[in-house]
Amino acid sequence: MARKMLIDGELGKTNEDESHYDFDLFVIGAGSGGVRASRFSAQNGAKVGICELPFHPISTEVIGGVGGTCVIRGCVPKKILVYGASYGPELEDARNYGWELNEKIDFNWKKLLEKKTEEIVRLNGIYKRLLANAGVKLFEGEGRVVGPNEVELIQLDGTKINYSAKHILIATGSRARRPAIPGQELAITSDEALSLEELPKRAIVLGGGYIAVEFASIWRGMGATVDLFFRKELPLRGFDDEMRAAVARNLEGRGINLHPRTSLTELVKTEDGIKVRTDHGEEIMADVVLFATGRAPNTKRLNLQSVGVELDDAGAVKVDGHSQTNIPSIWAIGDVTNRMNLTPVALMEGTCFAKTVFGGQPTKPDYGHIPCAVFCIPPLSVVGLSEEQAVEQANSDVLVFTSTFNPMKNTISGRQEKTIMKLIVDSETDKVLGASMCGPDAPEIMQGIAIALKCGATKAQFDSTVGIHPSAAEEFVTMRSVTRRITAGKPKM
């Protein structure tokens, strides 16, 4: 099949010399982004090969699995555990709804773990079938770049075989990072946290990002005592400050012990568990210590710099707007580029890559109005600008609309936990710049709000939309009164 493709960085007609390559495209890494790019490139007529490390729930430098972090040891198993952890508080709330739960209800961690593993094995198989159905050749083993158009595959038996490709795509994702603390080998990362043999009774979490607050919520929901340590005054740096405060209140309200502006200095193994020392002189005992202190691009073993591919100081692959490196035949997408590290973003980048290189439609990923969610309990979800970002970028006054209320469900259950919603509006254009929500079902609601913002919706259009009653979501179309107006260039006090 004749194809249009990028020739030396420019869109051109079919290259008569393509036939001397083993593949039009060889992808290293079969996570979400790599699989998407492979399938869509093959659908455009490209001959595609992809390699991935052998499957296991816990990754190492030589173990991975088709489906990548999100499917095997990230978003999917994490969300399963969030669902599992939510049932405990739900059962408590059920009493005021007439459910007589007289007998003690036990939680079987091993059963949930077994079901979680069954699901990721199933998804691993689905991803393999998706590749096969698209005509993509899957290789199991470790790939590394040995030339601008050559990949070396280290097979499971240790033998090496080389393949040539017109284009090489790096999609190896990222790996959990461990801080250099004495005794750090006693701690675990999110990989191990998703596959613990025993549910901890006492858990310590170090970090203030997505993973930290999510696992704190999971373990607390399952009955563990949880202490969360983070460097800032509030968790979730980079999110709207008002929403960060709401998450912190909810975490504390659910019984999680917060330790702001506190770091760990040493971990010591004892007969009673792990003794943790802090920079405030505290000593706390734990069964499990989770390091949720960020992730690093997975480039260490790819041999990229030896072939001239530029990396940044964090080890991420440097790319242009089309995901192309400084070597025209080598491309990179997903977390390995450290742009916006979300699974749907990697999917978008993979789609754009396939369109650009094999579809004859040069397409840059659009990073505007990308929604995201933190699956703490209850969850936080946002799209667009935070209040702080809007004020910083504003050329006109910023209008802030907020609504804080007790969800209808809580009025009966008696749970003291408020939902908060927020809209950020440009006073001159009336355009909604950002939306955020912390409360039950926030991610489900925010996905719809994201479409509105992507289309450039104004506050007047929100106001003219009829709500669904009774629902929490209707608050987004009934916020009429301005909570505060911030003059351009003057941040709120």
Peptide bond into 378 cis (omega under 30): yes
68 is in an annotated binding site: no
210 is in an annotated binding site: yes
269 is in an annotated binding site: no
147 is in an annotated binding site: no
Q: Choosing from 56, 280, 369, 469, which is the catalytic residue?
A: 469
Q: Are strands 398-405 and 484-486 parallel, antiparallel or unpaired?
A: antiparallel
The tokens of 343 are what? Answer: 């699974």
Q: How far apart are CA 379 and CA 417, in angstroms?
A: 12
Classify residue 240 by burial, with Cβ atoms within 10 Å: 0-12, 13-18, 19+. buried
Could you tell me if 266 and 181 are in contact, meaning their C-beta atoms sit under 8 angstroms apart? yes
119 is in an annotated binding site: no
321 is in an annotated binding site: no
197 is in an annotated binding site: no
Angle formed at CA 480 by CA 476 and CA 485, multiple of 5 degrees: 105
448 is in an annotated binding site: no
Classify residue 404 by burial, with Cβ atoms within 10 Å: 0-12, 13-18, 19+. middle
DSSP string, 182-241: TTGGG-B-HHHHTT-SS--SEEEEE--SHHHHHHHHHHHHTT-EEEEE-SSSSSSTTS-H
How crowded is the C-beta side of 297, counted as CA atoms within 13 Å? 23
Using the structure block, give the residue that is written with the tokens 């987004």: 476
12 is in an annotated binding site: no
Could you tell me if 120 and 132 are in contact, meaning their C-beta atoms sit under 8 angstroms apart? no
The tokens of 39 are what? Answer: 């399938």
Q: How far apart are CA 376 and CA 122, in angstroms?
A: 26
31 is in an annotated binding site: no
238 is in an annotated binding site: no
The tokens of 93 are what? Answer: 């709330």
Does 259 qualify as catalytic in the annotation?
A: no
218 is in an annotated binding site: no
* 3-state class (DSSP) for residue 103: coil
Quick count: other Cβ atoms within 10 Å of Cβ 185? 9
Secondary structure of 244-298 as H, E, C letters: HHHHHHHHHHCCCEEECCCCEEEEEEECCEEEEEECCCCEEEECEEEECCCEEEC
209 is in an annotated binding site: yes
| Residues in the annotated binding site for NAD(+) | 207-214, 294
Residues designated catalytic: 469
| Residues in the annotated binding site for FAD | 79, 143, 172-174, 335
| Residues in the annotated binding site | 79, 143, 172-174, 207-214, 294, 335
